[in-house]
Chains A and B, each alone.
Chain A
Amino acid sequence: MITLIIPITELRAYQTARIVGLAGGHGFQSRLRTLGIREGKSITVQVSQPFGGPVVIEIDGRATTIGRRMARGILVEPQE
C-alpha cells in the first residue's frame, strides 16, 4: 500500500493525521517537540487563517497557533 505523506497545510479542516516527520533544522525540530508536536502524534488542523496567516492545530486536545512556514515543515500521513 502506498502511504501519502503531505505537510499539514494540505490537510482538510478537521481531517485527522499522524505526524511522521519534522522537516527543518535541529532548533526547529526541538522547539516543535517541546510544544507537543512530534512524530507519532495525532494532529488535526482546526483553522487556517487566510492570506498566508498562521494555522491552528490541535494535539492532545490542546490548540496551538503556529506560523504557516513552520506548519509546512510538519509532515503527516492522513488517516481514514
Chain B
Amino acid sequence: MKKIVLMGNPNVGKSVVFSRLTGARVISSNYPGTTVDYFKGEMYLEKSRVEIIDAPGTYSRTPTNKAEEVAAEMLNEADIIINVVDATNLERNLYLTLELIETGKPLIIALNLWDEAQNTGIAIDYKALGTILGVNVVPTVALSGEGIKELCSNIGRATAGKSFAFARDEDKWIKIGAIIKQVQQVRHRHPTIRDRLTLASIMPVTGIPIAIGVILLSFWIVRLIGETLINTIFNPLFELYSPLITAFSQWLGPGLMQEILIGKLFDGEIDYVQSLGLLTTGLYVPIGMVLPYIVSFYFMLAILEDSGYLPRLATLSDCVFHKMGMHGHGIVPLFLGMGCNVPAILATRCLETRKQRFISATLVSISVPCMAQSAMIFGVLGPYGMRYIFIVFLVLVAVFLTIGLVLNHFVKGTSPELCLEIPPYRAPNPVVILKKTWMRVRGFLAEAIPYLFLGVLLVNLLFAIGFLEWIGTVFAPLTAGLLGLPKEATTALVMGFLRKDLAVGMLIPLGMTPEQLVIAVTMLAMYFPCVATFAVLFKELGIADLAKSTAVMVATSLLVGTVLRIILLGV
C-alpha cells in the first residue's frame, strides 16, 4: 500500500486536515507537540487504498525531541508528502517545505488557515508559489473543510518539485526571503482585541490572576458537568440496574459465585461501593463514579488545548518548572495526568532530554492524582469534610515541588530551555472537541475497565485463599508500625496497584479515624502508579530508569507517610 505522510510545523492544523481526509477519529490540538503518538488512517485514492499518516509537527528535518525523531523516520517511508503550511506564517513554514522538496519525493502543499490569513490582511499568490516551487499548492480551511476536496483530487498529481541545491543553510533563508517578496503582501493592521488578550494572559501581573481564574473555572465546570451527568444519566441507569442485580443475587444464593459476582451484602442489601463484587462495585466505581468526571475533564481539557491557552500557561509557569529540571512544556503531562496517568507519561515525549522526561514521568506518577485517585480521595474523605481532602491535595502539591527540586539536583543530564510558539487564540470547533473527548474517553474505557474487572476478580480470589490476610500480616510492621494504620489497610494498598478507585470500598469498612484515612489515601495516591501506568513507564523509560523511578516513589511515600503519621496521629 502506498504511504502518504502529512508533514508540517506544529500547530498548523495538520491533524484536522488528516481527520478531514480519513474521517478517522484522531486527536488534533492547538498545542505544539501534543501529537506525540502518530495516527494512521486509510483513504481511497483513484480507486486504490492508500495509507495516510499524520506525523508529529516539526520545524525541520533535524529533530530536537522524540516526537520530531518520529516525524523524520516517517518521512523516510513516505511515497507522497502532503506538506501542511500555515498561510498566516508562510515565511517560517517554507523552511521545512524546502527541506521536504530536497528529499525528491512527490509533494503537494496544503496552504491551511487560509481564512485566518485573509482576515489578518495577508494576501498570498498561491499559484505563483506553486510555480516557483514546482509543486501544486491548494488553499485549505481544514476546520470548515474548504479546499479539502481539491486537495484530494490533487494528491495523485503530486510532483517532485524543483531542486534548488543549496550549498549553505543561509542560502535557503535568502531563497525564502525572495519567494516571500514575490508571492506575499501583508497589509498593516492595528492590534486587535485578540492581541491584547494574548498580552494580558502572558504578563505576570494580569496573567497569573487570569491563570488562577481559568483553572478554578475549569474545575468548577468539570464538577458541574460531572455531577449533571451522574444525576441525569448514570444514577438513573444504576437505579434501573438495581432490581435486576438484586434478583440475580437472590437467584445465585450464598456461595462462591455470589461472593465473586455480587460480593458482600450489607443487611442483605448490595452496597455499590463496598460490596466488591464483579457486577456491583466492578461496574459502579468505574462507570458510575469515575467515568462522568473523565468525560467532563477531557471535554474541558480539549477546550483549553484548542483555544490555544495552554502555551500561555506554559510561558507563565516555565520559571517554576525550570527549577524542577523541566520547562513550561511540563504543564502538559501534569494536566493530562489529572485525567489518567497513562497518556500523561506518553506526553513526556515532547520534552527534549532524558533527564526532563524522567523527572516529569516520575512526578506525574507520584503526585498527580488521576481521576480514579481523585474519586477515591473524595469518596473516602468526602463524608468527613473538605478539610481532610484539602490536606491530601496540599501534601501532593508540596511533594510535586519538593521532589522536583531534589530530582533536578541529582538526576544527571541537561535541561534545555523552553522554546515555544504561541499560537493566536482560536475558537474551538465543537465537532473536533467532541471527537477528541470521545477518543480520550474511549482510551480510558479500554484501559480501565479490564483492569478493574481483573482487580475485583483477583481481590475476591486472593481473599478466598487467605493470601490477603497473609500479606497484611507480612506488611503489618510497615503499615501499623510506620504509618499507624490497621493491618487490613495493607490489602487496600496492595490492590491499589491494580486500580486505585477500588480501594474506596476496602478502606471504608475498616472504621479508621479521618486522620488515619488521610494517611491511607495519601499513600494510595503516591506509593505506586497503577499497573497500566507502570507498563507505560517501562516502555518509555526502560528498565533501569523505571527501577530508579520506583525507588523514588516508594522512598518518598514512606517518608511522607511517616511524617504525616507524626503530625496527624502523634508518635
B314 interface hit (Cβ, 8 Å) = yes
Cβ contact of B418, chosen from A33, A63, A65, cutoff 8 A: A65
Which B residues touch A54, using CB under 8 A?
A: 315, 318-319, 328, 417-418
Pick the contact of A33 from B173, B417, B421 — CB < 8 Å? B173
Report the Cα distance A46→B214, complex, angstroms: 22
Kindly provide the distance from the CB of A20 to the nearest chain B CB, expressed in whole angstroms.
14
Note all chain A residues with C-beta closer than 8 A to B169: 30, 33
Of residues B64, B314, B316, B418, which shows the largest number of chain A Cβ atoms within 10 Å of its Cβ?
Answer: B418
Interface magnitude class on chain A: 20 to 34
* Bound-complex Cα distance A56 to B328 (A): 13
Q: A30-B169, A46-B202, A54-B328 in contact; A35/B319 too (CB < 8 A)?
A: no
Q: Is the Cβ of B64 less than 8 Å from the Cβ of A66?
A: no
B198 is an interface residue with CB less than 8 A from chain A: yes
* Closest residue of B by beta carbon distance from A51: B319
The residue from B62, B92, B322, B421 contacting A30, defined by CB atoms under 8 A apart: B62
| Contact A53–B318 (Cβ < 8 Å) | yes
A51 to B95, CA, bound (A): 34
In the complex, whether B115 has a CB less than 8 A from a CB of chain A is no
B422 near A64 with CB under 8 A, answer: yes
Q: Does B327 contact A (CB under 8 A)?
A: yes
A63 partner, pick from B59, B120, B198, beta carbons under 8 A: B198
Separation of A46 and B319 alpha carbons in the complex (Å): 17
Residue B450 lies at the interface, judged by CB distance under 8 Å to chain A: no
Interface of chain A: mostly helix, strand, loop or mixed: mixed
Contact of B91 with A by CB under 8 A: yes
Closest to B99 in A: A34
Interface string of B410-422 (1 = CB under 8 A from A): 0000001111111
A-B contact count (CB 8 A): 93
Mark contacts of B189-205 with chain A using CB atoms, 8 A cut-off: 1 yes-contact digit, 0 otherwise.
00000000011001110
A70 touches B419 (CB 8 A): yes
Known contacts A64-B422, A68-B417; is-contact A36 B319 (Cβ 8 Å): no
- A65 and B59 in contact (CB under 8 A), knowing A46-B202, A53-B322, A56-B202? no
* Nearest CB in chain A: distance from B100 CB, A: 13
CB within 8 Å of A: which B314-342 residues: 314-316, 318-319, 322, 327-328
Q: Known pairs A47-B202, A66-B419; list 13 more (Cβ under 8 Å).
A: A31-B59, A33-B95, A34-B95, A34-B96, A35-B421, A49-B318, A50-B204, A53-B318, A53-B322, A60-B92, A62-B88, A63-B422, A65-B314
Sample (23) of A-B pairs whose CB atoms are under 8 Å apart: A30-B60, A31-B64, A33-B95, A34-B60, A34-B95, A47-B204, A50-B204, A60-B89, A62-B89, A62-B421, A63-B421, A64-B421, A64-B422, A65-B314, A65-B315, A65-B418, A65-B419, A65-B421, A66-B418, A67-B322, A67-B417, A67-B419, A70-B419
- List residues of B whose CB falls within 8 A of some A CB: 59-60, 62, 64, 88-89, 91-92, 95-96, 120, 169, 173, 198-199, 202-204, 311, 314-316, 318-319, 322, 327-328, 416-422
Across the A-B interface, give the 7 residue pairs with the lowest CB-CB distance, nearest first: A67-B417, A53-B319, A34-B59, A36-B92, A63-B422, A65-B315, A65-B420
